[in-house]
């Protein structure tokens, strides 16, 4: 494990100038706030069970959508509980305590301990690259469901996420340029993250790879893929009902899914009087077209080509 303080890096200094974090580290090449470091050993040594299900993704890639699908399939399509209990309470965000700002960190439960104590079979969400996940994943080989999304839409969604959660104050253009350079508040660079899952030295038969674009194109087909991967059966009527439950309109209007209650808590802790948008925004493919100029299109095309050549993944941008 290689850990380096990168706070004085020129690009990182630009990031610091426009957010509420003041120091950063690189962990095996992945960027995190320095407050992440004390958690690394606990994360690496976390006990994994064979019946765990891990929902993994880079930030803003369709994670919440995938989480709810998996939870419903694993819990006999219990929509009553889904409506009454927030998704964040039904499924632990593994490294949440390690990446939130210090004010929030002091006032929320320890997420790694929550994951440890969760009832089996556990469903655990994480945005960590594969090489920073618990070492026992390689030995115990639990099922992993991974979702990715085209990097342009990830960047746009991450921009709004940073404004919402991190008081990010720079322009989208600066955010996008830092994104291409691999500099973001956590988890970047995205190409290194994707490489850790698609090319890492692990059994990929235990990983089901989804894409946001594939989910948007044919949600029922992807539900069936996940359902088969989990070893369940589902009737056509139940499939129709679940597909409707996972619709964007239902997500946006359901408090247990749209993170509205979570956001109110964070607003209170962070003393935010006016919030910069909502967690659930548009849920579309191609929103990047409203944000990108020709220069950014070229830079992201270059990054996309490197990703395609390195790991063989290409996304529908329409």
pLDDT at position 163, please? 86
Q: Is the pLDDT of residue 273 over 50?
A: no
Across residues 111-122, what is the average pLDDT?
A: 96
Q: What's the token pair of residue 117?
A: 């104590």
Listed range (61-75, 152-166, 226-240) with the worst mean pLDDT: 152-166
Q: Is the pLDDT of residue 251 over 80?
A: no
Query: pTM score, two decimals?
Result: 0.90
Confidence bin at 160 (pLDDT 50/70/90): confident
In angstroms, how far is the first alpha carbon of the chain from the final one? 39
Percent of the chain with pLDDT over 90: 71
With CA atoms as reference, report the closest residue to 256 among 240, 245, 241. Answer: 245
pLDDT at position 143, please? 96
What is residue 216's three-state secondary structure? helix
The Cα 9–Cα 11 span in angstroms is 6
Burial of 102 (0-12, 13-18, 19+ CB in 10 A): exposed
Across residues 193-201, what is the average pLDDT?
A: 87
Residues 6+ apart with CB under 8 A from 207: 143, 144, 145, 146, 197
Confidence bin at 314 (pLDDT 50/70/90): confident
Segment holding 267, helix H or strand E: helix 260-270
Q: Is the pLDDT of residue 164 over 70?
A: yes
What is residue 209's three-state secondary structure? strand
The Cα 148–Cα 222 span in angstroms is 13
What is residue 57's three-state secondary structure? strand
Rg (CA), the chain: 19
């Amino acid at each position: 494990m290689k850990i380096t303080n990168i706070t004085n890096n020129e690009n990182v200094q630009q990031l610091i100038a426009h957010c509420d974090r003041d120091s950063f580290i690189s962990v095996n090449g992945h960027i995190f706030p320095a407050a992440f470091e004390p958690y690394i050993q606990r994360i690496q040594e976390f006990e994994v069970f064979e019946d765990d299900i891990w929902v993994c993704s880079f930030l803003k890639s369709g994670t919440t959508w995938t989480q709810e699908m998996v939870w419903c399939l694993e819990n006999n399509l219990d929509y009553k509980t889904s409506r009454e209990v927030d998704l964040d309470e039904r499924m632990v965000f593994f490294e949440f305590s390690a990446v939130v700002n210090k004010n929030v960190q002091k006032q929320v439960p320890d997420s790694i301990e929550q994951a440890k104590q969760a009832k089996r079979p556990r469903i655990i969400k994480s945005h960590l690259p594969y090489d920073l996940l618990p070492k026992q994943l390689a030995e115990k080989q639990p099922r992993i469901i991974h979702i990715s999304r085209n990097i342009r839409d990830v960047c746009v969604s991450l921009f709004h996420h940073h404004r919402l959660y991190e008081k990010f104050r720079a322009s989208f253009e600066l955010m996008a340029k830092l994104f291409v350079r691999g500099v973001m508040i956590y988890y970047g660079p995205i190409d290194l993250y994707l490489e850790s899952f698609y090319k890492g030295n692990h059994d990929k038969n235990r990983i089901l790879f989804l894409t946001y674009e594939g989910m948007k194109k044919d949600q029922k087909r992807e539900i069936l893929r996940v359902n088969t991967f989990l070893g369940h059966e589902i009737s056509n009527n139940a499939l129709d009902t679940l597909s409707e439950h996972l619709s964007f309109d239902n997500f946006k209007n359901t408090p247990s899914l749209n993170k509205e209650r979570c956001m109110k808590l964070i607003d209170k802790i962070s003393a935010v009087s006016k919030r910069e948008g909502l967690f659930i925004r548009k849920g579309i493919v191609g929103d990047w077209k409203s944000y990108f100029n020709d220069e950014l299109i070229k830079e992201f095309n270059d990054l996309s080509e490197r990703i395609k050549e390195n790991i063989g993944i290409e996304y529908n941008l329409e």
